[in-house]
Amino acid sequence: MININNNQNLASEVESLSFSKTAKIALKGIKIRLWRSLILIACINLAIAFLSYILTSNSLQRNLETHASKELIEKLIRTGNYDPDNIQNQNIQTYWLLTLAVLISFVGIVNAMLMSVSERFREIGTMKCLGALDSFVLKLFLIESAFIGTVGSISGGLIGIILAFIEGSFTYGKEVFNLSNNSVIISVFILSSVIGITITILGALYPAYQASKMKPVVALRAEL
């Protein structure tokens, strides 16, 4: 049958709706729903800023022993800002806090992405009726979350580091720059950005998959 062969050729054309075009549509979606996107970005931003802040101030404190002047250490111990005997306990506490922060932002992101999927049931159903493929819908949501995750994480990472330095300059005075180690700071920045982007994409994975598998008829019928 000539027709079916023809269809198959053309079907591969639909499939090849390019990444850049999908990305364009995803970006448009973010722009159109600017407030919702900004809230989502803020959610990631805060979590990642907290993460990089704690990691940075931790690394500053760890360098006290080796890089700070005697007077400063004595002053800090006197004011209760530094307790060399208790540093182990403090570290454990910090890591708990960090785990919690990452978990909370993960749940927040899943929640926000699920909202954004269910808010768009009808839109997804309509797009599928018009010929969108499952893979397109999946890509659309993943690209959207990846973009939001990248912006939120990078800005969050920077903000956290800057805040840690500002706070550090109050506690350690001018010596804060002696305490900082460039390569550590850079790896803190990279680590927190990667964590942020990863949890955003992981959080979006299930909602995006759910959206892509939705039958158009069901999606259209959803009363919202």
Partner 1 sequence: MNNNQNTKYDELLSAYVVRAINVKKIYMMGSHPVYALNGVNFSVKRGEYISIMGPSGSGKSTLFNMIGGLDKPNEGRIYIDEVDIAALNPIELAWLRCHKVGYIFQTYNLITVATALDNVMLPMTFAGIQQSDAQDKAAELLKRVGLGERILHKPLEMSGGQQQRVAIARALANDPSIVLADEPTANLDKKTGLQIIELLKEINLTQKVTIITATHDYKMLDISDRIAWVRDGKIEKFQKRYELDIKEGKLNVK
Which CB, 116 or 155, lies closer to partner 1? 116
- Contact call for residue 215 and partner 1 (CB under 8 A): yes
209: its two tokens: 């998959």
Instruction: Write out the DSSP string of 69-87.
Output: -HHHHHHHHHHTS--GGGH
Stretch that binds partner 1, among 88-96, 176-184, 194-202, 214-222 (CB under 8 A): 214-222
C-beta separation of 201 from 142 below 8 A = yes
Q: Of 25, 53, 24, 27, which is closest to residue 148 (Cα–Cα)?
A: 27
Residues in contact with partner 1, shown as a per-residue x/- string from 172 to 191 under the rule CB under 8 A:
--------------------
Q: How far is CA 190 from CA 82, 153, 186, 196, in A?
A: 27, 10, 6, 10
Provide, rounded to whole angstroms, the least separation between the CB of residue 22 and partner 1: 10
Stretch that binds partner 1, among 22-30, 54-62, 152-160, 198-206 (CB under 8 A): 22-30
Provide, rounded to whole angstroms, the least separation between the CB of residue 36 and partner 1: 11
- Contact call for residue 125 and partner 1 (CB under 8 A): yes
Compute the distance between CA of residue 125 and CA of residue 120 in angstroms, rounded to an integer: 8
Containing 222, the helix (H) or strand (E) segment is none
Compute the distance between CA of residue 188 and CA of residue 125 in angstroms, rounded to an integer: 42
Which residue among 23, 33, 62, 209 contacts partner 1 (CB under 8 A)? 33
Q: Of 106, 112, 103, 98, which is closest to residue 200 (Cα–Cα)?
A: 106
- Contact call for residue 16 and partner 1 (CB under 8 A): yes
Integer distance in angstroms from the first to the last C-alpha of the chain? 43
85: its two tokens: 């005997």
Which single residue is written with the structure tokens 């700071």? 185
Residues in contact with partner 1, shown as a per-residue x/- string from 99 to 118 under the rule CB under 8 A:
--------------------
Which CB, 30 or 49, lies closer to partner 1? 30
Which residue among 70, 80, 88, 131 contacts partner 1 (CB under 8 A)? 131
Provide, rounded to whole angstroms, the least separation between the CB of residue 109 and partner 1: 22
Footprint of partner 1 (CB under 8 A): 1, 3-4, 7-8, 10-17, 21, 25, 28-29, 32-33, 122-123, 125-134, 136, 215-217, 220
